[in-house]
């Protein structure tokens, strides 16, 4: 195994789940007579943790116990909607196999709850290919704080400079940059000009390979 690691966010990175999260939030907000629109989803939902999302849309502080109940209700709606729709972004499974063939360490670092991560990992049969799995419950500070990426590097026994992260959101990219890692922006839900500057961008995984990852990491370490 080489001493490099590739860490994936999940929503919008492994699977294009954002449209299904939007459906779940629409159903959830309808239950509470909350008005929302796509522009608000773009600014205040995609890539954000549920604690932020709920307080923004409910327009009030939400206590920890209430938040836990609201989060479970919304995420259960998502899991019901998405269960029969789980599908990876084009080329992802082949890219993951390419990484493992080149002895990369791999991990998932998501702001989603563990139940969502389990749904996707098991539907795609990729759990055994991951060397670190971190979800919302595993950190106390959420993206854009770098905790989830620093903890991933620790789990993978690599330095931040030996990691490259795939992210699709402003907060996620910010977290990876603050962790001192290189970042590839996945343009599934945002355009380049809506995101912090990344080391590279892809629209899907047919545009990337393990050899390209090695080039990016070695260039960083040699500089």
Q: Which of 67, 82, 97 is the last residue of a domain?
A: 82
pLDDT of residue 162 exceeding 90: yes
- Same domain, yes or no: 209 and 119: yes
- Same domain, yes or no: 186 and 148: yes
CB 110 within 8 A of CB 134: yes
pTM (2 decimals)?
0.91
Q: Residue 52 — very low, low, confident or very high, per pLDDT cuts 50/70/90? A: confident
CB neighbourhood size of 219 (10 A): 11
Q: Give the burial class of 36: count Cβ atoms within 10 A of its Cβ; 0-12 exposed, 13-18 middle, 19 or more buried.
A: middle
- Same domain, yes or no: 110 and 48: no
pLDDT at 50: 81
Number of domains composing the chain: 2
CB neighbourhood size of 32 (10 A): 10
List residues bridging with 106 in a β-sheet.
6
pLDDT at 36: 81
pLDDT of residue 223 exceeding 60: no
- Same domain, yes or no: 29 and 113: no
Of the spans 1-5, 41-45, 156-160, which averages the highest pLDDT?
156-160
- Same domain, yes or no: 76 and 104: no
Contacts of 69 (CB under 8 A, 6+ apart): none
Looking up residue 63, the CATH number of its domain turns out to be 1.10.150.240
pLDDT in tens, 15-27: 999 899 989 989 9
Q: Residue 1 — very low, low, confident or very high, per pLDDT cuts 50/70/90? A: low
Q: What backbone torsions phi and psi does residue 179 show, to the nearest 5 degrees?
A: -80, -10
Q: List the domain range (segments joined by +) for residue 57.
A: 18-82
- Same domain, yes or no: 93 and 34: no
pLDDT at 79: 97
Q: Which of 82, 107, 138 is the last residue of a domain?
A: 82
Looking at every residue in the chain, the average pLDDT score rounds to 93
pLDDT in tens, 179-194: 999 999 999 989 999 9
- Same domain, yes or no: 134 and 204: yes
pLDDT of residue 42 exceeding 80: no
Q: Residue 222 — very low, low, confident or very high, per pLDDT cuts 50/70/90? A: low
pLDDT at 220: 62
Distance CA 169, CA 189 (A): 8
- Same domain, yes or no: 59 and 29: yes
Looking up residue 182, the CATH number of its domain turns out to be 3.40.50.1000
pLDDT at 98: 98
- Same domain, yes or no: 28 and 100: no
- Same domain, yes or no: 121 and 72: no
| 3-state SS track over 180-208 | CCEEEEECCCCCHHHCCCCCEEECCHHHC
Distance CA 210, CA 188 (A): 20
SS3 115: helix
Which residue, 139, 150, 95, 145, is CA-closest to 117?
139
Interval 109-129 mean pLDDT? 97
Q: Which of 82, 106, 133 is the last residue of a domain?
A: 82
Q: Residue 221 — very low, low, confident or very high, per pLDDT cuts 50/70/90? A: low
Question: E-strand spans in the chain?
Answer: 5-8, 105-109, 132-134, 163-167, 182-186, 200-202
Return the CA Rg of the chain: 17
- Same domain, yes or no: 114 and 73: no
Strands 182-186, 163-167: pairing is parallel
- Same domain, yes or no: 62 and 112: no
pLDDT in tens, 202-219: 999 999 999 999 999 987
Distance CA 21, CA 83 (A): 12
């Amino acid at each position: 195994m080489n001493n490099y690691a590739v860490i994936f966010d999940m929503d919008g990175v492994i699977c294009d789940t954002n449209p299904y999260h939007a459906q779940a939030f629409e159903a959830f907000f309808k239950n509470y007579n909350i008005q929302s629109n796509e522009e608000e989803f773009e600014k205040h939902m995609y890539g954000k943790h549920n604690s932020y999302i709920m307080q923004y849309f409910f327009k009030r502080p939400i206590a920890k116990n209430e938040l836990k109940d609201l989060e479970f209700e919304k995420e259960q709606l998502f899991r019901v909607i998405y269960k029969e729709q789980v599908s990876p972004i084009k080329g992802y499974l082949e890219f993951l196999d390419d990484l493992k063939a080149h002895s990369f360490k791999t991990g998932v670092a998501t702001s989603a709850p563990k139940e969502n991560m389990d749904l996707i990992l098991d539907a795609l049969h990729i759990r055994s290919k991951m060397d670190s799995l971190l979800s919302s419950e595993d950190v106390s500070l959420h993206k854009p704080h770098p905790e989830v990426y620093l903890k991933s590097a620790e789990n993978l026994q690599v330095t931040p400079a030996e990691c490259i992260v795939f992210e699709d959101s402003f907060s996620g990219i910010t977290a990876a940059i603050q962790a001192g890692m290189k970042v590839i922006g996945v343009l599934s839900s945002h355009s380049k000009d809506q995101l912090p500057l990344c080391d590279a961008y892809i629209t899907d995984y047919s545009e990337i390979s393990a050899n390209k990852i090695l080039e990016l990491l070695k260039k960083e370490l040699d500089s």
